[in-house]
Amino acid sequence: MGEFLLCHLVNQRKQRQQRRDIQRRFRKRQKNRVVNLDKETEQLREEIELLKYPKHVIELSIPTNDTVWNVVVEYFRVFRHGLPSITPTSIYDTNSSVQLDFVRTSMTGNFVFNSQLGVNALLQSWSKLTLWFQDVEVTLKGITKCGIRSVDAATETSVTITEKTLRYAFPHMCEGKMSPAVLKLVNQRITMPGVTRFEWDVAFGRVIAVTAQSDMLMPILILLGSLRDVSRMFESSLVSPSFQLRYQNLQ
């Protein structure tokens, strides 16, 4: 009887200890859960603030129906095939109302294109490149935000090089008889990856600057197969290896 009672007391003590251990673990789990919940709540609060901040900026600084994103998409839509020119000496065709209307309504008065002041620099660049190269086609591949007021547009530009291209964009290569190296380029179509950055003017809700460049160097190198020939080709050209108009070389 005494042994039975002793065992019973020992079992009761074990059970009480087990219950205390269970309660302690439960309280610890509850405490950890509260701590984790507080952390998650704080993190969620911070994320909400981060979401509210750009939304606040966009709502105050950019018109709802004319955001920089919309302007970028529209830019590559209207200039998908460049800007038609009437003659090699004209800046652009004044009948190209779609492009001109877009520029007038989307660019600021102090607009800068590839370090050149004024929308005429943009129009001249598109006009010359469209005239000099055949079947210009620019495709927008993606848009990346790189700041509150600027975005980068990934592009792919395809053009066909003709004898006209060589005469106007690379005139020094056409002095006298064209070399066999130059003739390799005739009627060749090249595709150039590029990036165009758009800077947004918050006050006016318009684009204040555009910087466009595409990698023309690599496709030309592949066609010519010689760095020396590539260097000579771009030495006095009116188009740079980044497919930018060299305004300083224009007559």
Q: Is residue 72 part of a domain?
A: yes
Q: Is residue 40 part of a domain?
A: no
Q: Is residue 238 part of a domain?
A: yes
Q: Is residue 210 part of a domain?
A: yes
Q: Is residue 182 part of a domain?
A: yes
| Strand extents, DSSP E, the chain | 107-113, 116-117, 134-147, 150-161, 188-201, 206-214
Query: Per residue in 101-124, pLDDT tens?
Result: 899 999 998 999 999 999 999 999
Domain range for 94 is: 62-249
Q: pLDDT class for 63, splitting at 50, 70, 90?
A: very low
**Cα distances (angstroms) measured from residue 140 to each of 75, 112, 137, 175, 216:** 10, 21, 10, 37, 17
Q: Is residue 32 part of a domain?
A: no
Q: Is residue 67 part of a domain?
A: yes
Q: Is residue 213 part of a domain?
A: yes
Q: How many domains does the chain have?
A: 1
pLDDT score for 57 = 37
- Give the CATH number, domain containing residue 240: 3.10.450.50
pTM of the model: 0.69
